[in-house]
Copies of this chain bind each other. A is one copy, B any other.
Amino acid sequence: MVIDTLIDKIIEKQNPTALGLDTRLEYLPDEMMADYDPDDIDYKDAGKLILEFNKALIDELKDIVPCIKVQIAYYEMYGHHGMKAYYKTVDYAKKKGLTVIADAKRNDIGATCTAYANAYLGTTPIINKNAFDADFVTVTPYLGSDGVIPFIDVCKESGKGIFVLVKTSNPSSGELQDIMVDTKPLYEIVGQKVAEWGSGLIGRYGYSSCGAVVGATYSGQAKSLRRQLPQVFFLIPGYGAQGASGKDIVSSFDERGLGGIVNASRSIICAHKKGKYEGMNFLKAARAAALDMQADIVNSLEEAGIPMIKEEVK
């Protein structure tokens, strides 16, 4: 079950972080762009360059991070050549032993929902192959169970997982998610549904392969969700560029120092462009930033009295 594999890797590397490959041409170092005329670059070039950048980052960081999260919007922006780069990035990361989260926030109903589930986690009918083949995909719940159960069904067959948006990290997330319904906010109602949807996918650590997206920027809400949803693993955006730090994420973790994976993208892949490591080689800068992030989170868990366990649960 994919949630167990992910947690095993988190413990092995003592690092609950996902490298966010939200790659766009603007983030590439000048030396990679040197052979290209910016007035004459096409989608095919872009796909090739982005894949090259991603592969180099994966090689540089694969010994310290357990997981990548690929934000598909940036690949769609480069058309089908971008989607080819997406597919090849996923494939490369998996070959290097990393877990892959497709951050696609897909949502639809019935047969269409099954088509998305097959595209990201299952196999395409007739062709019997995996189109994009991630380990997890993110899912938006506005359509209700009809937009989630088809993903759960495919997860049961393929051993894969999903993360459903519950309480997101952005400033306006409260507009709908915090609306009070009787005595509780809407996001808690969605959280309860996530627990129900995932009840048949629970692994060795007591966590389900059907997890939730819970932003690091709302640590109070995360704390209450952690208590209410002991079997729901969290994908935690909002660290780094969005403003949250290690202290903000500890409320999403349990007494074993487990329970979530924290994503950071720009603060790592653009570390050579600005901040503490500006001007350094992009790979060295990314590695230094990723190690800083690991230390921040691991220290924060220790200071909170919930250091991460050192041994995998068999």
- Residues in chain A within 8 A of chain B (CB atoms): 22, 24-26, 38, 41-43, 46, 71, 73-74, 76-84, 86-87, 105-110, 112-113, 115-116, 118-120, 124-127, 129, 131-132, 140-147, 165, 168-177, 179-181, 186, 189-190, 193
CB–CB B76/A84 < 8 A: no
A140 neighbours in B (Cβ, 8 Å): 105, 107, 140, 142
A105 to B38, CA, bound (A): 32
Given known A-B contacts A142-B141, A176-B144, A176-B186, A127 and B43 have beta carbons under 8 A apart: yes
CB–CB A76/B132 < 8 A: yes
A106 neighbours in B (Cβ, 8 Å): 73, 105
**Total copies of this chain within the assembly:** 2
Q: Which among B24, B78, B84 is the interface contact of A131 at CB below 8 angstroms?
A: B78
A170 to B145, CA, bound (A): 10
A146 neighbours in B (Cβ, 8 Å): 170-173
**Nearest Cβ distance between residue A290 and chain B, in whole angstroms?**
21
CB–CB A77/B142 < 8 A: no
Q: Which among B107, B118, B144, B179 is the interface contact of A174 at CB below 8 angstroms?
A: B144
CB–CB A144/B172 < 8 A: yes
A145 neighbours in B (Cβ, 8 Å): 172, 175
A84 neighbours in B (Cβ, 8 Å): 80
CB–CB A112/B79 < 8 A: no
Q: Which of A42, A87, A144, A173 has the most CB of B within 10 A?
A: A144
Q: Which of A71, A82, A115, A173 has the most CB of B within 10 A?
A: A115
A79 to B80, CA, bound (A): 9
CB–CB A127/B78 < 8 A: yes
CB–CB A46/B172 < 8 A: no
A124 to B120, CA, bound (A): 24
Given known A-B contacts A73-B108, A83-B83, A87-B79, A180 and B177 have beta carbons under 8 A apart: no
**Nearest Cβ distance between residue A147 and chain B, in whole angstroms?**
7
A142 neighbours in B (Cβ, 8 Å): 140-142, 165, 168, 176-177
CB–CB A115/B76 < 8 A: yes
Q: Which of A76, A177, A189 has the most CB of B within 10 A?
A: A76
A83 neighbours in B (Cβ, 8 Å): 79-80, 83
A67 to B157, CA, bound (A): 37
Q: Which among B112, B127, B143, B177 is the interface contact of A173 at CB below 8 angstroms?
A: B143
A38 neighbours in B (Cβ, 8 Å): 126
Given known A-B contacts A146-B170, A147-B170, A126 and B76 have beta carbons under 8 A apart: no
CB–CB A78/B22 < 8 A: no
CB–CB B76/A119 < 8 A: yes
**Nearest Cβ distance between residue A97 and chain B, in whole angstroms?**
23
